[in-house]
A and B are shown apart, each in its own frame.
Chain A
Amino acid sequence: MTAGTAQLSLRSSLHTIAAMVRRASNELLRVPGAAIPGILAPTIFFLGLTAVFGNLTNLPGFDADSYESFLIPVTLMQGAGFTGAATGVNLARDIEQGLFDRFLASPTPRWVLLTGLVLSASMRALIPGTVLFMVALATGVEFPGALGLLIAIAAVMGMAMVASCWAIAIALRFKTQSAAPLMQSVMLALILTTTAYAPQELLTGWLYDAALINPATHIVEAARQGFIGDVSWAETWPGIVALLGLVALLAALALRGMRRTAY
């Protein structure tokens, strides 16, 4: 392949990715209700859990004064997880209706299709992220500072990429929207088996060990730092590594599923 052909191919791939992101945005504009699941469930969990477990901050060793501030990063991750999972549900619908077959029959490389889907998920995740952040500020969560907010946004977009890669892999494996609970519940388990409810030292039993080995713990901690204290590189880099690792692993799984699909 000559340099000119490669450049043309790359430009064409970028055009396709942009078209897929645009398609996802159009979908959201035409069916605004599609954004509700990513907002409603995390909001209910946020308000409900702070009302129920708010007194946990009185435990010795709890490193936050406000449970709302402690919980909001988890809520943001939940919103991103649900939005990413919705990408898989939409893909399953496209597979059921035969639309995805047409994408596969086109000369577009598989990685381009995957990138388009994953990028659209990461951008869509900003909608529930923004709403949830507003709800949090309204309930007294302190502004995390510019850097803290930037890290939280990156974590939201990254978690949506993780969730969408997982959901796409499942959609390609089962080819039905009925697999939606599997897409959502695994993401929920990944996010909640971290330091979601309490700091690591206050977790008990199996969850203490699970949170220690769960890479999502580092993502939650990175997103949380600005909300409960100062931002530091030491708290940030493990989150970046965990995000990159999860995206690479699950993207490989999704790509494998895409390559195994007919055509």
Chain B
Amino acid sequence: MSPATTLRVIGSLGARAVKQTFRRPQLMAPLLIFPTLLLAIQTGGAGRAIDLPGFPVVNGFFDFMLAGAMIQSTLLAGNTGGIALAVDIETGFTDRLLAAPIPRFTIVAGRLVGTAVLGALTAVWFVVIGLLFGAEINEGPLGVLAMIGLVTLSATAFGSIGAAIALRSGSASVVQGMFPLVFVILFLSSAFFPQELLLEPARTIAELNPLSYIVEAVRDPVIGAFDATNLLEGLGGLAIVATFGVTLAALAMRRRLRIG
């Protein structure tokens, strides 16, 4: 199959994934409603945290939280993409794709393209929400573009983990059951609070959690300035997550093909 045809297959499967999410509100709602609700509540509930000694200088707690909400949304996008893939497996759609003369990796790649698009859309949603409610993005339009790019990559990376779980289990309820883990990973990172102000053992774990570096890279353009080190660390975090997810997905696909 020519590279152009392969790309067309990935594009078609990606477009299907996006349409599927828009047609099922129960898939779309968690990506936007839950992180937005938590953003609003945590900003109002813990807003005075900026007065704590050691809290970075920010325009407001809302500005600080914006990156956390975006990354939370990408984790949920990865989980939602996994659920949709598992539903495809349960209903036999994936079997039909496996029987079709297309490269196997396009099945996962198509799903990841869909997740990436959803990630970009959620990034735009939070930028709009942020600007509407008074966030100041220090790095301006260039910063906004960098944030959207990083959030899109983040959705893709976490989507690969969702796809791996779906391929391994073949069950939507198993992938759905991973939902609480999203919050474990988030709480054990600097998504919602500065790392230095987390309590132990969360502080030490956050230091080792790649998610912390991804969040900091997204947060930089809002509360500070572009920092090459933070950006590289963020991209490194994304590479770790993506490598982990893609490897697991490849192994799960191979196993699925072997057992039939």
Contacts and interface: CB of A to CB of B under 8 A. Distances in A.
Contact of A48 (B30, B40, B45, B184): B184
Tell me what chain B mostly uses at the interface: helix, strand, loop, or mixed: helix
Nearest to B190: A52
Given A49-B187, A51-B202, A52-B187, A181 B30 contact: yes
Contacts of A178: 26
Contacts of B44: 203-208, 210
Interface string B176-210: 00001001101110001100011101100000000
Given A197-B41, A207-B41, A181 B29 contact: yes
A225 B201 CA distance: 28
Interface stretch (A6-14, A53-61, A156-164): A53-61
Interface stretch (B47-55, B94-102, B137-145, B215-223): B47-55
A192 interface: yes
Interface string A155-190: 000000000000000000000001001000100110
A45 B199 contact: no
Which of B49, B186, B192, B198 has the most chain A CB atoms inside 10 A of its CB? B49
B45 A196 contact: yes
Interface in B4-52: 26, 29-30, 33-34, 37, 40-49, 51-52
Which of A45, A55, A188, A210 has the most chain B CB atoms inside 10 A of its CB? A55
A44 interface: yes
Given A44-B180, A188-B37, A189-B37, A202 B186 contact: no
Interface in A31-84: 40-41, 44-45, 47-56, 58-59
Interface residues of A, number: 34
Contacts of B43: 204-205, 207
A204 B47 contact: yes
Contact of B199 (A40, A54, A196): A54
A217 interface: no
Contacts of A58: 52-53
A196 B29 CA distance: 24
Given A55-B52, A181-B29, A185-B37, A203 B198 contact: no
Nearest to B184: A44
A96 to B, nearest CB: 15
Contact of A55 (B30, B184, B199): B199
A45 B53 CA distance: 25
Interface of A: 40-41, 44-45, 47-56, 58-59, 178, 181, 185, 188-189, 192-193, 196-198, 202-208, 210
Given A40-B180, A192-B45, 7 more contacts: A48-B184, A48-B188, A52-B192, A56-B49, A196-B45, A198-B45, A207-B47
19 contacts: A44-B183, A48-B186, A51-B198, A51-B199, A51-B202, A52-B202, A53-B46, A55-B52, A58-B53, A178-B26, A189-B41, A196-B45, A197-B45, A198-B45, A204-B47, A204-B61, A205-B43, A207-B40, A208-B44
Interface of B: 26, 29-30, 33-34, 37, 40-49, 51-53, 61, 180, 183-184, 186-188, 192-193, 197-199, 201-202
